[in-house]
Amino acid sequence: MVLTISLPDRHTFYAGKPQKSSTSSETFQSVDPSTSKPVCTIHTSSPSSIDSAISAAKSAFPSWSSTPPVERARILQKAVSILRSRNDELAKIETLDTGKPFSETSTVDIVTGADVLEYFANLVASGGLNGESFRLRDSAWVYTSKEPLGVCAGIGAWNYPIQIALWKSAPCLAAGNVMVYKPSEVTPLHAQFLAQVYTEAGVPDGVFNVVYGAGEVGAYLTKHPDIAKVSFTGQVSTGRKVAGSAAGEMKYVTMELGGKSPVIVLPEVDIEQAVDGAMMANFFSTGQVCTNGTRVFVPEKLKAEFERVLLRKMDDVRPGDLMDMNTNFGPLVSEAHYKKVVGYVKHGINVDRATLLRGGLEKPENLPERLNNGYWVRPTVFTDCTDEMKIVKEEIFGPVMTILTYSSLDEAIVRANNTELGLAAGVFGKDINECHRVVKQLQAGITWINTWGESPAEMAVGGWKQSGVGVENGRRGLEAWVRNKSTLVEMGGAVPTVFAKL
């Protein structure tokens, strides 16, 4: 099935509708990664357009922030209902924009984003924004409140466009804030669709706005004096710049950055289960997942069996027509990223000299002819790897697994932690107590035991070390979008003072 969707040009969205750019505005293309053909023209938001979007948000904030949480929740629940009713339509847009198979986008991307919006709507409706009160002494008591921040900037990533947009906007709006959202310039199509869903649900004009462009647009947002918070998802180097810029302006920040996550296979393990987990940790979404477990530590005595089962199961990785529900592996997202990943594979072969167990530099076999110009790579496995190799140390963000062996668990734990990143980690084993012992020692903010990748709305997720600041989702995720106000009430009838007559 050929996916053909005709989309009009995209312009800055604020005050409840798209706002036409000037005829001289710069443009860029959204490209279908499976064919390398452009599908939509996007107009870069000018500084004046960004100012207008921020102004619209600023004007909407007083009313939206004073709307009772339960009323905000009702509106956001309507948006959840619309998202679910349009799941397949929006999933096709995500497939067209990201190159992910429809079998994935239709079951994960919109579904999990809507789950997060539903979770935060329910949370604020059921008292999630309540403060606390306590008696300080007989004549005085203290109460606290959670106050919204104001106009917030959400800067999205290209690998899970609408899901990340919802991970940011859901707690932001539920807490009473307003947002100016910038999607990645690589995958921008979802943004206006989401804005229209919010508008249709009854979110007031100006509460959710969209600006388009590359790094300069994000930098302008980050430095703008009317932005109270910046929430960014992306690579570590960019995140450092964004966080530094925002912190210099005393803005609140949440940073969800990259990783080079370890998978530790214990000596006593169900090999089939461990291989399934390692494959999900490396090949799902064509390896374009920040939590990917690309360093797979296997006991020396299990290496041969692990690789034998892995090679057998890799026959079930099926690239092809993205709208075929049997396809479970798509292309990389862009030409630039394709060149980056291929460069790492070449380095692994020619410089690191790791053993190429499967995959390599050729495109997948038996692709339909119309897909030959897309950004396709083969799922690749290197073995006999060492910790010093570039393909082991650096985040590739593609379907490239590296297998490393170990002789003792304590050694594996030390090696797994020997990275400046700390986003995710996982353990596979039959002894659940041993699994817990190992996970406790792994330096990562997101950990899994005998599974990989699931991040439900109820689960707060965020990185350690250079992998991020703060968390998203869960109860703690709401705290990232409010500030505390404490009030002390004296009821004794007199103001305590040292300035009295002697």
**Catalytic residues, which ones?**
256
φ, ψ for residue 357, nearest 5 deg? -85, -35
Q: Which residues have C-beta within 8 Å of that of residue 20, sequence separation ≥ 6?
A: 11
| CB distance 361 to 398 below 8 Å | no
Query: Between 190-201 and 87-98, two packed helices, what is the crossing angle to 10 degrees?
Result: 160
Smallest Cα–Cα separation from 2: which of 440, 337, 473, 374?
374
Q: Is 254 helix (H, G, I), strand (E, B) or coil?
A: strand
**Pair type for strands 140-148 and 482-490:** antiparallel
Smallest Cα–Cα separation from 354: which of 396, 393, 403, 308?
403
User: How long is the chain?
Assistant: 502
Smallest Cα–Cα separation from 353: which of 320, 391, 321?
391
Q: Which residues of 225-259 are buried (b: 16+ CB within 10 A; e: fewer)?
A: eebbbbbbbbebebbeebbebbeeeebbbbbbbbb
Q: Which residues have C-beta within 8 Å of that of residue 197, sequence separation ≥ 6?
A: 79, 82, 83, 86
φ, ψ for residue 354, nearest 5 deg? -75, 160
If you write DSSP's letter for every residue of 461-501 in order, what string do you get? B--EETTEES-BSHHHHHHTTEEEEEEEEE-SSS---S---
Q: Which residues have C-beta within 8 Å of that of residue 452, sequence separation ≥ 6?
A: 263, 277, 278, 280, 281, 293, 426
Q: In 358-463, which ranges are continuous DSSP H helix? A: 390-393, 409-416, 432-441
What the block records as the tokens of 346 is 């070449």
| CB distance 262 to 425 below 8 Å | yes
DSSP E strands, 183-289 = 208-210, 229-233, 252-256, 262-265
State the first-to-last Cα distance of the chain, in angstroms, to the nearest integer.
92
What is the tally of helices (H) and strands (E) in the chain? 16, 22
Smallest Cα–Cα separation from 261: which of 273, 278, 244?
278
Distances (CA, A) of 373 to 275, 337, 364, 379, 501: 31, 14, 12, 18, 89
